[in-house]
Structure 1
Amino acid sequence: MPEEVLFKSESDQSREEIASYLRKVADNLDSGNDISLKAGSESVTLNPPARPTFEVKVEREGPAGNMTELSMEFELEWDENASEESSGIGQLEIE
């Protein structure tokens, strides 16, 4: 199935600003509230299920032998039309 980008935002932020965004998402997840994202004229509101798939990925990108960029991605995934289910390969720990 082709990917459709519903919302995208990318900007340089301080660590404190990023933590504030992530904290708001975490608070909404914890309370079961919708998550609304807005940047300029773009916006989207999501209501993740009680047990979405949570993916964490760390990548190093750049020419071999001269790595130039590290990235850390946090992703929530769920099927819009599926019933609640649980899957996974192991318990994530963040220290």
Structure 2
Amino acid sequence: MPEEVLFKSESNQSREEIASYLRKVADNLEGGNAISLTAGSESVTLNPPARPTFEVKAEREGPAGNMSELSVEFELEWDENASGESSESGQLEIE
């Protein structure tokens, strides 16, 4: 099935600004609230189920050496028509 991008935003932010965005997402998840994303005229509201799949990925892109780009990605996934139950692949720890 082809991927459909519903919303995309990319900009340079300070670590503090990024933490604020992540904190708002965390607060909404913890409170069982929808997550609304807005940038300019684009917006989308998503309501994750109680148990979405949580994927964390660290990547190095580009040639080895000084010119590679590092990234960390946090992703929530769920089937729009499923109950939100998912299998676990091991306990995640973030320090």
Q: TM-score range by the shorter chain?
A: over 0.9
Structure 1: stretches of 5+ with no match in the other structure: none
Two-structure CA RMSD over aligned residues (Å): 1.1
Contact 1:60/1:67 (8 A) holds in 2: no
TM score, norm. by length of structure 1: 0.95
- Runs of 4+ off more than 6 Å: none
Deviation per CA, 1:9-33: give whole Å up to 9, x if none: 0000000000000000000000001
TM score, norm. by length of structure 2: 0.95
Instruction: Give the letter for the 2:93 counterpart.
Output: E
Structure 2: stretches of 5+ with no match in the other structure: none
Instruction: Give the letter for the 1:88 counterpart.
Output: E
How far apart in 1 are the matches of 2:84 and 2:9?
Answer: 29
Tell me the percent identity.
88
- Matched with 1:41 is 41
Aligned pairs, how many?
95
Name the stretch that deviates more: 70-79 or 84-93: 84-93
How far apart in 1 are the matches of 2:84 and 2:60?
Answer: 34
Name the stretch that deviates more: 15-24 or 62-71: 62-71
